[in-house]
Structure 1
Amino acid sequence: MVLSESDEKISNDLSIAESEQDLPSEVREKKLRGQLKTGYTTGTSAAAASKSALITFLTGKSVEKVQVTLPKGKVVQLKVAWTRMNEKSITSAVIKDAGDDPDVTHGAEICSTVESTSNKGEVKIIGGAGVGKVTKPGLGLLLGDAAINPIPMKMITEAIHEVLNLYPEVIKKQGLKVIISVPGGEEIAKKTDNPRLGILGGISILGTTGIVLPYSTASFAAAIRQSLDVGIALKADTFILTTGGRSEDFCKGLFGDTYVDHCYVQMGDFAGYSVKQCHDKRVKRVFIAGFIGKLTKIAMGVKQTHVRGSHVNMEFMAKLAETVGASEEVLKLILDANTARHVSEIIDAHNIKGFYDLICSNAASQLSNYSKNELSIEVIMFDFKGYVIGRFPKN
């Protein structure tokens, strides 16, 4: 994942309070007390492992901790999990610590192997087992290269040169190869968007600040932007933005082979942000697909559609039902309903026509505000079996 903006700026762009996310109760309490623990990125971990391995390579002595300079200049100290030596190379590992963030790479071994080469003066940093390779454009990395993003690459390089500056004669006599690897990285990557983005065979080495902010919206925003960038680089001008994996699967069943995989982007709760990004990147057309709950929230103008961040307004739903001719009896049932899904059961039981299309119409109108009415937006509502029950505009 290539991040071109700081975490702080992305969070501001989203205009979403992190407190609106669906946090476990114990985490939410920590957050309110300001006690959530930050962590370190895979980039910081790789830099620390590289520094440790090189120190041992040059001195023959392993170290328990190393200091790493983060992109903004702060110096942090990371623990080295282990160092292994053989005749030709040295490998050190740092355990990725994501703090209180539910990162899939938390606990992974981020390893760095240092070995000498005959290319005097050269320091070459490459990806090894468990680090993905780039197979699609749009990521800001060369095709075929390891998925080590520019800032982590810079951090690794600087960590290596901090050591080499203490031993200037070494690099005059030989070159160095530094191999970043992640045992089990290929399996971990299956839990990420890497396969869709064309990063195959492992995880990415990431990080813009070197620090993992617990439950940050920035990482989700970056994933949305990056998915769009990959699709655009592959000449896509239409994207299907879905609220999750289930609605994406239903869309693939609906559209068949019309759209390839990189046209699908899971926007989660960030519909407005995703539409704005599509507009700013000059996408021509988007489909918004989801179920009654989130699409109703979008139709209401809610910026953050997560269950913990907002609630469906039954008065709003009753007004829509009244617009399409629902009886007083139905309106009362809707006002007393528990959830949006409950409302759909009432609508279906009384065979109210046009209700779902009206929600989609209102959702499209709200989302147009994020694109200055310059983007073609179509909204599709599925029922929970995958049938299209609402659509705007109607085909």
Structure 2
Amino acid sequence: MSSLRYGWTTGACATAATKAAHTALLTGEFPDPVEITLPRGQRPAFALAVEELADGAATAGIVKDAGDDPDVTHGALVRATVRHGAPGTGVVFRAGPGVGTVTRPGLPLEVGEPAINPVPRRMMREVLGDADAIVEISVDGGAELARRTWNPRLGILGGLSILGTTGVVVPYSCSAWIDSIRRGVDVARAAGREHVAGATGSTSERVVAELHGLPEDALLDMGDFAGAVLKYLRRHPVPRLTVAGGIGKIAKLAAGHLDLHSKRSQVDFALLAGLLQDAGGDAGLAARVREANTALDALRICAEAGLPLGDLVAARARDVALDVLRGAPVEVDVVVIDRAGTIVGRA
């Protein structure tokens, strides 16, 4: 059983801060700690790091604890400032310093709205009850932190998003990355893009963007999650997909792995040897590939023999991708690069 400690999302922190600020606005006293109920029924309590009460406004701040997850927002100070709203206006959300604003269609929020996602909004409305209130959420240093997230590419400018569907951060969860892939597809579709690319890293992304002249909003931060890209495009197709990556990652996809992380899949050198023999390579060369240390080593061995291992791997990876797409109207091509960013295989 894992001993890793769970944490709390920015949405949970913003909700608790909102509840504390609203209570202080009504009573003059901040509840500390402040308890909220999460969507799955957990009832965490949060200590307040900031308490500010002024004429017509109250601000509470909570330091986000992401548990043992390497979350970019771990330790960030999430603030909520609550003011009375005009009668009948309900809850109005505003982006304070460090919280982004939506500038492109395709996200679950309208263009011009603060980047406070639907579930955190619902949680905040629940703690406010039937109050008419203006809620401004801010994150200290959020604009700088946002540069280390997918927000700029998704068209969320000026800061972070207030996120979370359960309120809980699961250590080393893949869910946030996969959610960003899905939002990237949504943004590309809303922009009318007919060609998107999923790359395993920054070098392959640069190569494929230059190769096809793709704009930033057509580039999906695939990383190791090839399966997430393919499965989402199966349900939400774009006419063309390019998959790009290093020979090792694409060799894993060629073997049928949809999670390309080194801890969850390995290069199948027997498969590479088999591809080589099917293409006319002799048994001696296949044996050397089977005993290679790395996929790059196998590539070098084949290049010296004049055989296009990169093309063979790309073709097999493309077949796997098309199998996952299950007939969805998506054309697929695959680009394989070496460490220097040179294209060494295409299909």
TM-score for the superposition, normalised by structure 1:
0.83
Where structure 2 has 5 or more consecutive residues not aligned to the other structure, the ranges are none
CA distance in 1, matches of 2:228, 2:17: 36
1:27 matched residue in structure 2: none
- The 3-state SS of whatever aligns with 1:159 is helix
Task: Select 1:235's aligned residue among 174, 189, 192.
Answer: 192
Contact 1:312 1:340 in 2 (8 A): yes
Q: How far is 1:322 from its partner?
A: 2.2
Task: Select 1:285's aligned residue among 240, 256, 264.
Answer: 240
1:115 matched residue in structure 2: 83
- The 3-state SS of whatever aligns with 2:250 is helix
Task: Select 2:104's aligned residue among 104, 117, 136.
Answer: 136
Contact 2:209 2:215 in 1 (8 A): no
1:201-350 superposed matches below 5 A: 201-256=158-213, 259-348=214-303, 350=304
2:157 matched residue in structure 1: 200
Q: How far is 1:182 from its partner?
A: 0.8
1:356 matched residue in structure 2: 310
CA deviation digits over 1:79-125, x for unaligned, max 9?
111212333422110111111111111111110112335x2354422
Task: Select 1:372's aligned residue among 302, 316, 326.
Answer: 326
1:105 matched residue in structure 2: 73
- The 3-state SS of whatever aligns with 2:116 is coil
CA distance in 1, matches of 2:316, 2:281: 18
CA deviation digits over 1:145-166, x for unaligned, max 9?
10111110111111122xx7xx
1:38 matched residue in structure 2: 6
CA deviation digits over 1:259-303, x for unaligned, max 9?
221111021222133112112112211111111101111111123
CA distance in 2, matches of 1:309, 1:74: 31
CA distance in 2, matches of 1:176, 1:358: 61
Q: How far is 1:35 from its partner?
A: 1.8
Amino acid at match of 1:297: K
- The 3-state SS of whatever aligns with 1:390 is strand
Amino acid at match of 1:379: V
- The 3-state SS of whatever aligns with 1:97 is coil
Where structure 1 has 5 or more consecutive residues not aligned to the other structure, the ranges are 1-32, 165-170
Q: How far is 1:127 from its partner?
A: 1.6
CA deviation digits over 1:217-271, x for unaligned, max 9?
2222211111101110111122111112221111122223xx2211110212221
CA distance in 1, matches of 2:239, 2:325: 11
CA distance in 2, matches of 1:254, 1:351: 27
CA distance in 2, matches of 1:176, 1:219: 30
Matched, 1:160 2:114: no
Q: How far is 1:143 from its partner?
A: 0.8
Amino acid at match of 1:309: R
CA distance in 1, matches of 2:156, 2:96: 14
Specify whether residues 314 and 176 from structure 1 end up closer, same or farther in structure 2 by C-alpha distance, changes over 3 A only: closer
CA distance in 2, matches of 1:125, 1:239: 33
Q: How far is 1:347 from its partner?
A: 2.0
Amino acid at match of 1:176: A
Aligned length: 345
Please identify, of 132-141 and 61-70, the stretch whose mean Cα deviation from structure 2 is larger. 61-70
Same amino acid, percent of matched pairs: 38
Task: Select 2:39's aligned residue among 56, 63, 71.
Answer: 71
Q: How far is 1:355 from its partner?
A: 1.9
Contact 1:241 1:287 in 2 (8 A): yes
Please identify, of 273-282 and 47-56, the stretch whose mean Cα deviation from structure 2 is larger. 273-282
- The 3-state SS of whatever aligns with 2:281 is coil
Task: Select 1:57's aligned residue among 5, 25, 46.
Answer: 25
CA-atom RMSD in angstroms: 1.7
CA distance in 2, matches of 1:277, 1:105: 27
CA distance in 2, matches of 1:299, 1:287: 15
Contact 1:324 1:355 in 2 (8 A): no
CA distance in 2, matches of 1:337, 1:141: 50
Q: How far is 1:328 from its partner?
A: 4.0
Contact 2:196 2:219 in 1 (8 A): yes
CA distance in 1, matches of 2:135, 2:228: 39
Matched, 1:48 2:16: yes
Q: How far is 1:324 from its partner?
A: 3.0
TM-score for the superposition, normalised by structure 2:
0.94
